Amino acid sequence: MTSYAPFVAPETVSPAPAPAPAQLDVAGELLAMLRDASTEPRPDDQLEALTLAVAADLPVLLWGEPGIGKTAALTQLAASLDLPLTTVIASVHEPSDFSGLPVVGDDPAVQGVPMAPPDWAVRLVRAGRGLLFLDELSTAPPAVQAALLRLVLERRIGALRLPPDVRIVAAANPRSSAADGWELSPPLANRFVHLQWTHDHDVVVRGLGGTWPRATLPVLDPVKLPAAVDHARRAVCGLLAARPALVHRLPTTEARRGGAWPSPRSWEMALCLVAFATAAGSSREVLSLLVRGTVGDGPGLELMAGLDRMDLPDPELLLADPAGAVLPERGDLRQATLDGVVDAVRNRPDRSRWDAAWDLLVRALETGAPDLVVVPATTLASLRQDDWDVPEAIERLAGVVTLSQRADESAGRAAARNAAAARTRR
């Protein structure tokens, strides 16, 4: 009898499980997703001011508290403009890193001792273009700041000169919040356009959501270039001719010397920025940031006031066609325009011009705040000559002037009562 061995099913071998992805790779993927962000065109005055100064090839210094986003803004700016970004932490370098290291050749007596530039400068020259970011400038000691003078103004490091397409932007923290901070030396501070960098709540929230403002260079209108240069020269030269003390004014305190202040160098920078802003059609707010960041708040505001006066309509053109006159929307500019019209009538009094000025005040009343016509109307009424009839326009303005006068009288009486009550309490 034949015996058979029992059937044994072959052992099933399960395939080896795929290796789990390395956790660092997964973490890297998550980090990449978090860094992924887009940009959008969005009005941003400080970003537009920065790009305008970069377009004008002027060194810019961003001032702001730590963590405010200065470095991130510069990184995004370089990416938007397709410029290689080279970051140099000024405080960790020696003066020789910016002035150049001496290299002794075969015959120093004949060939001299050339100053070799650092590697980052060589890379910028090879690239031919780029954005040089000097970070932590306010933590650089005085010796390093002195070495930076030639780099910032002349674009030279040792025997090497940076290409024209390299732009320089720096960042600094106020001394109170900088690690071992120093005040900027006056010669170095006077070479920069100083911009105060602050955060915008809406920009931060939208940026953390994945969309940041896009930095774009200003679009310069070629047709406007000659007029822009003439406009800038008339504005700056007109102010300095009337205010010669503003040509050079070194601040008296160390802190203010480390910021923007007027000098022939900074006025030349301001003139350049006015021309660029005019050719680009930039807003008054952007130009104000740039001008005040170049020559200081006081001189900058005086220059802006001069530019406003230059932009006012000609009083003679307004008197020639009061019905079709276009008056400024801003209250201070409208007030200055109306005052200019009244001055024009005073300088050349004539019945037809006096009547036209009244028609213009009526138009101002209909298109703006009524209180702006009170002072010009009162002054214009005092210019009336005996043989001039009272125009009908005065009747439309009489109520506004009377109401204003009554309000002033009421305010005066209230102030007198308050003063009397105070004396009684004493």
CB-CB contact of 364 with 373 (8 Å): yes
Q: Which residue in this structure is represented by tokens 């530039």?
A: 117
pLDDT of 124-161, one tens digit each? 999 999 999 998 888 888 888 888 998 898 888 877 89
Task: Report the relative pairing of strands 101-102 and 156-157 from DSSP bridges.
Answer: unpaired
Percent of the chain that is helix, strand, coil (3-state, to 5): 60, 10, 30
In the chain, where the domains are located: 41-101+115-213, 222-310, 315-425
Q: Which residue in this structure is represented by tokens 């390395």?
A: 22
Per the model's pLDDT, the better-predicted residue between 265 and 252 turns out to be: 265
- What is the dihedral angle through the alpha carbons of 52, 56, 59, 65, rounded to the nearest 10 degrees? 0
pLDDT of 222-253, one tens digit each? 999 999 999 999 999 989 988 899 999 999 88
Mean pLDDT value of segment 6-17: 58
DSSP H or E run through 238: helix 225-242
Phi, psi of 328 (to 5 degrees): -60, 150
The rounded distance, in Å, linking the Cα atoms of 350 and 352 is 6
CA distances from 373 to 117, 126, 127, 422 (A): 65, 63, 61, 35
Task: Report the relative pairing of strands 160-161 and 156-157 from DSSP bridges.
Answer: antiparallel
The rounded distance, in Å, linking the Cα atoms of 248 and 132 is 29
pLDDT of 164-217, one tens digit each? 999 999 998 886 665 566 788 999 999 999 999 888 888 888 888 888 888 788
Number of alpha carbons in the 13 Å side-chain half-sphere of residue 386: 0
Superfamily of the domain at 41-101+115-213: P-loop containing nucleotide triphosphate hydrolases (3.40.50.300)
pLDDT at residue 64, rounded to an integer: 87
Residue 137, Cβ density class (10 Å: 0-12 exposed, 13-18 middle, ≥19 buried): buried
pTM of the model: 0.74
Q: Is the pLDDT of residue 411 over 60?
A: no
The pLDDT-based confidence of 82 (bands split at 50, 70, 90) is confident
In eight-state DSSP terms, residue 383 is: T
Residue 209, Cβ density class (10 Å: 0-12 exposed, 13-18 middle, ≥19 buried): exposed
pLDDT at residue 297, rounded to an integer: 94
pLDDT at residue 115, rounded to an integer: 72
DSSP H or E run through 406: helix 393-425
Coil vs helix vs strand at 314: coil
pLDDT at residue 408, rounded to an integer: 41
- What is the dihedral angle through the alpha carbons of 348, 350, 355, 356, rounded to the nearest 10 degrees? -50
The rounded distance, in Å, linking the Cα atoms of 70 and 173 is 10
Q: How many CB atoms lie within 10 A of CB 357?
A: 27
The rounded distance, in Å, linking the Cα atoms of 52 and 45 is 10
The pLDDT-based confidence of 91 (bands split at 50, 70, 90) is confident
In eight-state DSSP terms, residue 221 is: -
